[in-house]
Amino acid sequence: MYDYVVVGAGSAGSVIAARLSEDPDVTVCLIEAGPADAAENIHVPAAFGKLLRTRYDWDYDTHEEPFLGRRRIYLPRGRVLGGTSSTNTMIYVRGNRIDFDEWGQPGWSYDELMPYFLRSEDNDRGASEYHAVGGPLAVSDGRSNNPMSEAFVEAAVQAGYHRNEDFNGAGQDGFGPFQVTQRDGRRCSAATAYLAPALGRGNLVVETDLQVHRVLVENGRAVGVTGGRFGEAVTVRASREVILSAGTYNSPQLLQLSGIGPAPLLTALGIPVVLDQPMVGRNLQDHTFVPLVYEHSQPISLISAGSPEHVERFLDEGRGPLTSNGPEAGGFIRTRDGIPAPDAEFLAAPVMFADSGLGTPTGHAISYGPTMIAPRSRGSVMTALDDPTAKPKIMHNYFADESDLDDAVEATRAGMRIARQAALKPFTDGPQQQPASDSDADLRDYIRHYAHSIFHAAGTCAMGSVVDAELRVLGVDSLRVVDASVMPTLVRGNPNAAVIAIAEKAADLIRGIAAPATAADADR
């Protein structure tokens, strides 16, 4: 029996467990389906691709996507301490101010959430109006500095866009280098930042390799969870709350397996209905990426990152190609006039990016393209069987809204224009993968054949429909959801920073601590 049981040790769960266990009078059990984060490939930034489809990956995919030629789209999710923050590209982008303001949820505006971003941050640029030092999460400038990354930014400037040195500063538009969640050139995941310093506390227990199957609900109240480890049934009970931080795909599946979800589905699967909640698993959103790949003969891409001299530099200095997060540079654009914020984020990596990251680079190349960050299309996550070890049925419905495809056409056309600029000429000897032309027909055909997820799913347990503004599940006592699934709409940018800020705020809500009015108030 613990005071709090937290399910999922990813970006949110690591924060929640660390913050709640700061109180020595509170007991916390953090449960993770995957193993500890001991593998070296987790901590060497450029090695993140070697984690895909291994024991550290849930290895999901969509069912046949009706608007992408019935392709199934690969959806990696971290299954390890740190969750996807242990396997992602480490980009630190908070999102746009209007993302949070448009949620319309009390306490969740940009200004109200900003102190939590600052509380979490330890930025090597120092403290400023937009940044802080001293928080658990290390944020730093990249240390790879591949010439292709700067060439991409310069080409975007030549194409008419402006330079932006801080996407988390006064404005999001423009092109520049990304800051990353690294310390001294090594990955700083949520587990590294929050969980590792807390592991010595006697009131915090971390259970790995334990997959939760259901939340136990008695008389309308969550009282614990049940699951399995290596074939053995395990039950962990909570006297105060159960907190689901299992992610956008797994949190709604767990609710459904626990009898909280659309009654017709649960009844059809033979799952006893605890609460008919039709919106559990609905409102699924994601960012799609349109890859453009150009080959060249310059021997500077990341395929040589593992050479002895680069290994030595990484070990001695924490610098060089092995510190690369992949997409070292990028930018934000608006595909049309009159919209209030960027709707496309470019990601540029100095390597041949093939087959959603699952392919093997066969030569030197630069890969980049637009990520569509303001999607209108919505999908769903539904449990497929009453067996909790079965993967859920995920249908993103990418480009179900035709206007999403229109915007992607304009963003891809902008990407092809960047490729024609003088700064990229040394790195674009020939297209390895690009549309046949920049006509609408060829661009639409290319997008349907090659667009894929950039792994930013959100929205399936949204505030206002599944949980309230304090992230409590509507209709069930002592049960909360804290992860990307609670976002009513997906933020414009890589969501890891926002998820950590959400969890920081959730920890205060759970502890009954008043929200900080300023960054100084948050620094406690």
Query: Is residue 489 scored above 90 in pLDDT?
Result: yes
Residue with tokens 């799913």: 457
Residue 523 has pLDDT above 80, yes or no: no
Whether the per-residue pLDDT at 165 is higher than 60: the answer is yes
| Structure confidence at residue 412 as a pLDDT band (50, 70, 90) | very high
Averaged over 375-391, what is the pLDDT?
A: 97
* H helix runs in 57-171, sequence order: 97-101, 110-120, 147-158
Tokens 């070296």 locate to 40
The residue-averaged pLDDT of 313-328 equals: 97
pLDDT of 330 higher than 70: yes
The first and second tokens of residue 476, run together, are 């069930």
Asked whether 306 and 373 are in contact (CB, 8 A), the reply is: no
- Please give the mean pLDDT across all residues of the chain: 97
| pTM, two decimal places | 0.97
Task: Residue 170: count other Cβ atoms within 10 Å of its Cβ.
Answer: 8
β-strand partners of 189: none
Give the burial string for 191-212 (b: 16+ CB within 10 Å, else e): bbbbbbebeebebbbbbbebbb
Superfamily of domain 1-137+182-284+457-524: FAD/NAD(P)-binding domain (3.50.50.60)
Q: Tokens in use for 26?
A: 């509170």
Q: Is it the case that residue 519 has pLDDT exceeding 70?
A: no
Tokens 């919106």 sit on residue: 279
In the predicted model, what is the mean pLDDT of residues 118-130?
98
Q: What percent of the chain has pLDDT over 70?
A: 99
Domain definitions of the chain by residue range: 1-137+182-284+457-524, 143-177+288-374+399-450
CATH class of 143-177+288-374+399-450: alpha beta
Assess contact for 408 and 288: CB atoms under 8 A. yes
pLDDT, tens only, 20-74: 999 999 999 999 999 999 999 999 999 999 999 999 999 999 999 999 999 999 9
DSSP one-letter string for 31-60? E-SS--S--HHHHSGGGGGGGTTSTTB--E
Q: Amino acid identity, residue 261?
A: G
Q: In the predicted model, is pLDDT for residue 443 greater than 90?
A: yes
Which residues does 356 contact at the CB level (< 8 Å), separation at least 6?
A: 73, 74, 452, 453
In this model, does residue 282 exceed pLDDT 90?
Answer: yes
**What values do phi and psi take at 442, rounded to 5?**
-70, -35
Pairing of strands 137-141, 393-395: unpaired
* Cβ proximity of 225 and 457 under 8 Å: no
DSSP string, 462-524: -BTTTB-TT-BBTTSBTEEE-SGGG-SS--SS-THHHHHHHHHHHHHHHHTPPPPSSHHHH--
pLDDT for residue 358: 84
Query: Any alpha helices (H) in 319-474, and if so which ranges?
Result: 402-419, 440-450
Residue type, position 211, single letter: Q
- Give the C-alpha separation, 392 to 203, whole Å: 34
Give the pLDDT band of residue 154 (cuts 50, 70, 90): very high
Residue 210 has pLDDT above 80, yes or no: yes
Catalytic site residue from 131, 364, 396, 456: 456
Active site residue 449: no
* pLDDT class of 317 with cuts at 50, 70, 90: very high
What's the token pair of residue 65? 């996507």
Distance CA 44, CA 113 (A): 31
Could you report the per-residue pLDDT of 82-107, keeping only the tens digit for each? 999 999 999 999 999 999 999 999 99
Our CA angle for 382, 267, 246, nearest 5°, is: 35
pLDDT tens-place string over residues 336-363: 999 999 999 999 999 998 887 888 888 9
- Of the pLDDT bands very low, low, confident and very high (cuts 50, 70, 90), residue 399 is very high
Whether the Cβ atoms of residue 492 and residue 374 lie closer than 8 Å to each other:
yes
Pairing between β-strand 2-7 and β-strand 232-244 as defined by DSSP bridges: parallel
Helix residue ranges, H only, 51-90: none
pLDDT at residue 359, rounded to an integer: 84
pLDDT of residue 520: 61
Exposed, middle or buried, 94 (CB in 10 Å: 0-12/13-18/19+)? buried
Alpha-carbon span 126 to 456, nearest angstrom: 28
The tally of CA atoms less than 13 A away on the side-chain side of residue 17 is 37
User: Of the candidates 108, 69, 144, which has an alpha carbon nearest to the alpha carbon of residue 350?
Assistant: 144
Closest CA to 366 of 442, 431, 455: 431
Please check whether residue 331 is in contact with residue 161, taking contact to mean a CB–CB distance below 8 angstroms: yes
Above 90 in pLDDT, residue 506?
Answer: yes
Q: What percent of the chain has pLDDT over 90?
A: 95
Residues in the chain: 524
* Alpha-carbon gap, residue 281 to 95, rounded angstroms: 23
